[in-house]
Structure 1
Amino acid sequence: MTVDRYAHPVELTVEGVRYTTGGHTLLHGVDLTARPGETVGVVGPNGSGKTTLLRCVYGTLRPTGGRVLLDGTDAAALGVKDRARRTAVVPQDATGMLGLTVREVVAMGRSPHKRFWEQDGPDDARRVADALEAVGAAAFADRRFDDLSGGERQRALVARALTQDPGLLALDEPTNHLDIRYRLEILALVRALPTTALLVLHDLNLAAAFCDRLYVLSAGRTAAAGPPAEVLTEQLLAEVYNVRTHITTHPRTGIPNIVYLPLDTPRADH
């Protein structure tokens, strides 16, 4: 895909973001920074606040405290289209696609850049074709979106985000439903783009391989933040995930490699 088409990468700053609903606080003053062009991962166990934080970043939830800044501008002050020109989203689940083809779904990514009466032109068609090819979805571009497998849908949603020309790409479990080949391809593609990327991931080995920095959430608070090799320690994973692990540096890649031990494995010092 031609990468020089994209908007300049956005600097994302999350300052003391809190989110409370129904008397329950899901985020307790979370701070996060993603510098222009970085790939930053948010990890943590279920219920730790990962998706809530991501939704506060891209605007479907409004923080009850703190703020989200895009290039120093308070995102809450931006209009819907202006925010969409800066941030593209790959959600876990897609709605409102009934009866649309994959090509039509991907073309929706161009809407923030157009007036409501404007039709797609040749440049829009090229961007859609490039995005479909980039994610390996060109072969099923004319199929109905609702007839696709989970993995095929995920690739189409990533392609839709790419056509939006985002400065910030926010992805909630982008490898969900994908087989290992497409997990690696999608994350490699995201990392190669000249955009800032914020990813929620469950797979810690993939997070270590593709993210510049990680934020580990636990019960709505930041338990650790930094480069994967510093953050992913056996002690931290025991405290946050309540699992035993053996972590080494992979001899070929130089990145942390996490092996999960059976729950009844005795401690090494016993």
Structure 2
Amino acid sequence: MTTLRTENLAYGTGEGRHLVDAVDLSAADGETVGLVGPNGSGKTTLLRCVYGALRPTHGRVLLDGDDLAALPVKARARRIATVPQDGHAGFELTVGQVVAMGRAPHKRFWEADSAADAALVADALDRVGIAALAPRTFASLSGGERQRALVARALVQQPSLVVLDEPTNHLDIRYQLEILALVRELGTTNLLALHDLNLAAYYCDRLYVLQGGRVVADGAPADVLTAELLGDVYGVAAEVSTHPKTGAPTVVYLPQDRAQPRASA
């Protein structure tokens, strides 16, 4: 059982500006929770506080009741896997070696990879559709291929919580759908930031809407994604309906110059 909770979480800069401000968030065991909001709303900063890249200036992050700030780095890495927004392209390692790095939290510093480790890597590469790229250097991959390699690295880490920052970045439509479906099939508790509201509505159990570093709405996608909220938070006109096949809310954006029918001549 894996539960995530943030309590009054805040992260501020030296100038007194709060990028994340008083955020209370939860994710139940096996739940996929999405963060949505416009650019600069605090999604990435919040995720970095959750997985430990940033130390909150106030509040705390609890995983199964344990304060993550009190855990050693390696112990935290055994429980949380991270898929960042943009994979660094400078690695001279091969794709297979980058994915195998996911086993590091489970091994001693000098411990070599075992046959079981190699099998986990091969399976993860196959599951994200890049098995043929294993001998290539990570730096030679396209943005979408790098993103899938980082998802594979998270798979071999065998975490209980997966934190993903825009996991569909650079991916074509097919792989966007496949990666998010794979995340849901992991059986882990998942926290992810997404820009695409239709993907968030379909693949997330609950959503938190951020604006200016604060949570302005949370709940099931159908309760959160309303035309009124999209107008307030994103400043756009939109229509929200229930898709007849998926049952999920579907957002259609209305360009400002075409929001109203044009009068006939």
TM range (shorter): over 0.9
Match of 1:4 in 2: none
Aligned mate of 2:67, from 56, 60, 74: 74
Structure 2, unmatched stretches of 5+, are none
Match of 2:5 in 1: 13
**Mean CA deviation greater in 128-137 or 20-29:** 20-29
Is contact 1:39–1:197 with CA below 8 Å preserved after alignment? yes
Structure 1, unmatched stretches of 5+, are 1-8
**Mean CA deviation greater in 54-63 or 96-105:** 96-105
Match of 1:62 in 2: 55
- Structure 1 residues 143 and 15: CA distance shift in structure 2, 3 A: same
Q: Give the AA of the match of 2:133.
A: F
Q: Aligned to 2:139, what secondary structure does the other structure show?
A: helix
1:28 CA displacement: 1.1
Match of 1:186 in 2: 179
- Aligned-partner Cα distance in 2 for 1:223–1:213: 14
Percent same amino acid among aligned pairs? 66
Is contact 2:9–2:21 with CA below 8 Å preserved after alignment? yes
Q: CA RMSD in A?
A: 1.2
Is contact 2:89–2:138 with CA below 8 Å preserved after alignment? no
Is contact 2:237–2:259 with CA below 8 Å preserved after alignment? no
Q: Aligned to 1:264, what secondary structure does the other structure show?
A: helix
Aligned mate of 1:33, from 10, 26, 29: 26
Are positions 1:87 and 2:69 aligned together?
A: no
Deviations 1:24-77 (A, max 9, x none): 111110010000100000000000000000000000000000100010000000
Is contact 1:102–1:144 with CA below 8 Å preserved after alignment? yes
- Aligned-partner Cα distance in 2 for 1:117–1:165: 20
1:22 CA displacement: 2.4
Match of 1:256 in 2: 249
1:191 CA displacement: 0.6
Is contact 1:97–1:105 with CA below 8 Å preserved after alignment? no
Runs of 4+ deviating beyond 3 Å: 265-268
- Aligned-partner Cα distance in 1 for 2:109–2:72: 15
Deviations 1:147-201 (A, max 9, x none): 0000000000000011000100000000000000000000000011110000000
Q: How many residues are aligned here? A: 260
What TM-score do the two structures reach when normalised by structure 1?
Answer: 0.94
- Structure 1 residues 96 and 145: CA distance shift in structure 2, 3 A: closer
What TM-score do the two structures reach when normalised by structure 2?
Answer: 0.96
Match of 2:160 in 1: 167
Q: Give the AA of the match of 2:103.
A: R
1:265 CA displacement: 3.4
Are positions 1:203 and 2:196 aligned together?
A: yes
- Aligned-partner Cα distance in 2 for 1:98–1:54: 23
Q: Give the AA of the match of 2:4.
A: L
- Aligned-partner Cα distance in 1 for 2:97–2:89: 12
1:92 CA displacement: 1.3
